Structure 1
Amino acid sequence: MVALDLLLAAHRAYLLGWDVGRSASPDLVTYRSDLPHAPLNGVLRVTGHAVPDALAEARHRLDGVPRIWWVGPDSDAETAEALLTLGAVQVAQMPIMAALIDQVATTPVPAGLHLAEATDLPEFVAAYARVSGIAPDSVPAVVDREQAFAADGTVIRLAGRLDDGRIVGTATAWLSHGLLTLYFVGTQPEHRRRGIGSALTRAALDLARHRGVRTVALTASAAGEPLYHGLGFRTVASFRLLSF
């Protein structure tokens, strides 16, 4: 299994790909997309900073946008507790999960589902926006940021379609730091519990394996954690997500 520090570095690299370039410091890593969606603006790591000073600086850098603070193993100990005492609010705890690709269970592709790389970016973004809580009127701005995405790695966007062409599931495969990290894995609500998310995950794993990648990582929601445990992923750490 790849070391935890590489998993965290790959995660930082992906979210920094959304950054509009207003901040860069290794001890207080922030990213700002300017999109009205909290997970696309935030703090990724703080080290060697007094938390009150870090909070003031983060609020300055991210003023005017919804944002979250990812408090994980790459931040100083007690960061979350210090932020809570200063008025931050914990909104979620997300497990960091990983697996060796060759040890992840195989899953069948549901009948009538076709998996392929997405070529229509607005259609793809509209599909994951609906699942991720991105407002419909924000989709054009998200498309613009996706088109401008720039980071040390490769993004491959996978779509699951029905016979009529409708996208019913999405997955973004991020290849960086020698591993695969998954984002925007989601199924349209009316098509859930059919194995679409598992099939998209498997397709992303196969794509990465063909490129010589051996390890996959992701951050799971509470609903997704049992699914990934069932596929063979294990929890290696967690993020506490705080609004501030």
Structure 2
Amino acid sequence: MESLDTVLAAHRAYLLGWNIGAAGGPDLPTYRSEVPHATLNGVLRVAGRTPPDALFEARQRLRGVPRVWWVGPDSDAGTADGLVALGASEVARLPIMTMAIGKAADVPAPPGLHIAETADLASFVPAYARVSGIPAEGVAATIEREKAFTGDGTVVRLVGRVDDGRVAGTAVAWLSHGLVTLYFVGTQPEQRRRGIGAAMTGAALNLARERGVRTAALTSSPVGEPVYRRLGFQPVGEFRVLTF
């Protein structure tokens, strides 16, 4: 299993792939996509910077876009509490989860679901935007940023379609730093409770296994954590997600 430091580095590399602003250095890396969705703009860690100093500089770089602060094990101890003292609100505590892909159970696709790689951003992005909360007016910008995505790794987009061609589920497999990290795993509301999310996750794990990857990682919502535990993922850390 890759170390937690490697998992965190892969996470930073993915979000920096969205960046079109000043990324800064390893002490205060930020990413700015211009998409009006907080998790697609933000601060990735604070290392060796006081919270007031970090806040001042981050505000200059991220002015005008909704954003979040990812405060995890790669940030200095006390960073989250220091930011809260400056007025930040904690919006979530998200478990960082990993698993050895070789121990993953087989997850068959439910009847009528067909999972494949896709380059059709015009249907893929609106589907995950609907689930993840990206507003309709931000979809076009998200598509453009997906087209221009560049990062230290490889993005593979997986789509699950039902028999009539409609998108039912999505997943992004990010292959970087020797592991696969999963993003935008989601199911359209009218298709839920059919095991589609688990099937999309299983397809991403199979793809990574075929490419010789041994470890999978993701950051789960509290609601999704039990599902990922059943698939074999275990928590190895936590992000406190803050906003101002």
Taking structure 1 as the reference length, what is the TM-score of the superposition? 0.99
For the residue of structure 2 that corresponds to 1:90, the secondary structure is strand
Aligned to 1:238: 238
**Segments of 4+ moved more than 4 angstroms:** none
Structure 2: 5+ residue runs without aligned partners?
Answer: none
For the residue of structure 1 that corresponds to 2:165, the secondary structure is coil
Q: Distance in 2 between matches of 1:134 and 1:118?
A: 20
Asked if 2 retains the 8 angstrom alpha-carbon contact of 1:157 and 1:172, the reply is yes
Within-5 A mapping of 1:50-199: 50-199=50-199
Letter in 1 for 2:54: A
Asked if 2 retains the 8 angstrom alpha-carbon contact of 1:128 and 1:186, the reply is yes
Instruction: Note the alpha carbon deviations across 1:13-63, whole angstroms, 9 max, x for none.
Output: 000000003232111111100110000000001111111010111111100
CA shift, 1:119, in A, is 2.5
Give the superposed CA RMSD: 0.7
Aligned to 1:213: 213
Structure 1: 5+ residue runs without aligned partners?
Answer: none
Aligned to 2:5: 5
Taking structure 2 as the reference length, what is the TM-score of the superposition? 0.99
* Greater mean deviation of Cα atoms: 157-166 or 132-141: 132-141
Q: Distance in 1 between matches of 2:24 and 2:84?
A: 25
Asked if 1 retains the 8 angstrom alpha-carbon contact of 2:33 and 2:41, the reply is yes
Q: Distance in 2 between matches of 1:75 and 1:222?
A: 21
For the residue of structure 2 that corresponds to 1:65, the secondary structure is coil
Asked if 1 retains the 8 angstrom alpha-carbon contact of 2:37 and 2:134, the reply is yes
Letter in 2 for 1:34: E
Asked if 2 retains the 8 angstrom alpha-carbon contact of 1:153 and 1:177, the reply is yes
Asked if 1 retains the 8 angstrom alpha-carbon contact of 2:91 and 2:241, the reply is yes
Asked if 1 retains the 8 angstrom alpha-carbon contact of 2:153 and 2:177, the reply is yes
Asked if 2 retains the 8 angstrom alpha-carbon contact of 1:23 and 1:31, the reply is yes
